[in-house]
Amino acid sequence: MTKPKSGTILKEVPVQEAVGLRLAHDLTQIIPGQFKGRLFKKGHIIVEEDISKLLDIGKEHIYIMELGEGELHEDDAAKRMAAALKGEGLQLSEPHEGKVAVKSALDVPAIAMIDPEIVHAINGLGDIALATLRTHAVVMPGGQLAATRVIPLVVPEEKVQAVEKLISGYRARNEGQSPLRLQPLRKLRIGLLTTGGEVFSGRIQDKFGPAVRRIVDSLGSEIAEQRFAPDDRHIIVKEIHYLLEQSYDMIVVTGGMSVDPDDRTPAAIAEAGARIVSYGTPMLPGSMLLMGYLDGVPIMGLPGCVMHDPYTSFNVLLPRILAGDTITREDIVSMGYGGLHGC
């Protein structure tokens, strides 16, 4: 049968004559008491070995799909869009239910760098779907940062060509870079200072250290040393200077970040000579976080929520610092949009 110039058609054929043809729909296999699920998915190209399996599930005739001129099956369309997006450090999955995943090929954690304007432009074409993480989201090795698919089973090839044109135009304007990129996280050695008379005296067990260490370890860095200080501004300043002298890549100070009279940490960080980017963020939980730089070394004061909340402002800013970003006041201000988590 000759393909029409446009429009996809379905055709019923005997299974023995179906080799090389494309299935028009999913086929299910049922083995009573053992298995029920998809044996072949729509779009599958039938090979000789499939014939006996089709006969085993009672299929002597099947519907096959013939694409019209200038049309693409959903798998082929998703593969082409993903291939256009692929860049350094990225890998693509095989099509699954018409979707191709764009994943990290790096062996270290990274943050996603995604151009939202290109994402919006692609999705504005209609019948096309590009779903991504937000910029600065953490992507672990092998983790997914985007996925491509088309909405219908069959899409005009010109839709995919429009996607490819948008991406190639972006690359031409950005030295060949893809609008989807990964920024690897560096492995930093971090000095940790835990403040608070109740912990310093041994009255209560330190809960801050294990929580911070767990977050830092998960991102491939390490707490090289942890020290303790009472709620004494001069001692805290002395300990901060000690950690700076050890040439650690970053300094984290925990505890004493509220406005209570006994909480001396923010003033101590400033007295130590830090340039304060912001004391406070518009994100919840984590609004009392302090971000600054001391002789070019990032220094953070962490609020108590880091001990018990799974996602705070610390989880937002730490990956960016590990990726080499310098945090600005504008970065802090932008955290309010989408910054309500679990409150």
| Statement to judge: residues 194 and 144 lie in one domain | no
Q: Which of 112, 71, 78 is nearest to 94 (CA)?
A: 78
| Statement to judge: residues 176 and 202 lie in one domain | no
Residue 109 lies in a domain: yes
Residue 341 lies in a domain: no
Angle separating helix axes 116-123 and 157-173, nearest 10 degrees: 160
Residue 3 lies in a domain: no
Strand ordering across the sheet containing 180-184 = 138-139, 110-114, 180-184
| Statement to judge: residues 232 and 310 lie in one domain | yes
Q: What is the pLDDT of residue 260?
A: 62
Q: What is the pLDDT of residue 96?
A: 81
| Statement to judge: residues 306 and 237 lie in one domain | yes
> If you write DSSP's letter for every residue of 34-68 in order, what string do you get?
TEEEEEE-TTPBP-TTHHHHHHHTT-SEEEEEEPP
Q: What is the CATH number of the domain that holds 214?
A: 3.40.980.10
| Statement to judge: residues 199 and 331 lie in one domain | yes
Q: What is the pLDDT of residue 73?
A: 87
**Per residue, what are the HEC states of 179-242?**
CEEEEECCCCEEEEEEECHHHHCCCCCCCHHHHHHHHHHHCCCEEEEEEEECCCHHHHHHHHHH
Encoded tokens for 272:
């130590």
Instruction: Show the domain range for 288.
Output: 189-336
Residue 343 lies in a domain: no
**Per residue, what are the HEC states of 102-151?**
EEECCCCCEEEEECHHHHHHHHCCCCEEEEECCCCCEECCCCEEEEEEEC
Low-confidence ranges of the chain (pLDDT < 70): 1-9, 259-263, 343
Q: What is the pLDDT of residue 1?
A: 40
| Statement to judge: residues 194 and 321 lie in one domain | yes
Encoded tokens for 196:
């608070």
| Statement to judge: residues 144 and 256 lie in one domain | no
Q: What is the CATH number of the domain that holds 136?
A: 3.90.1170.30
Find the angle CA(169)-CA(103)-CA(98) to the nearest 5 degrees: 80
- 127/138 Cα distance (integer angstroms): 29
| Statement to judge: residues 14 and 62 lie in one domain | yes
CB–CB of 104/182 below 8 Å?
Answer: yes
Residue 20 lies in a domain: yes
Question: In the chain, how many domains are there?
Answer: 3
Q: What is the pLDDT of residue 163?
A: 98
Residue 294 lies in a domain: yes
Domain edge (last residue) among 21, 36, 66: 66
Residue 41 lies in a domain: yes
| Statement to judge: residues 78 and 163 lie in one domain | yes
Amino acid letter for position 113: M
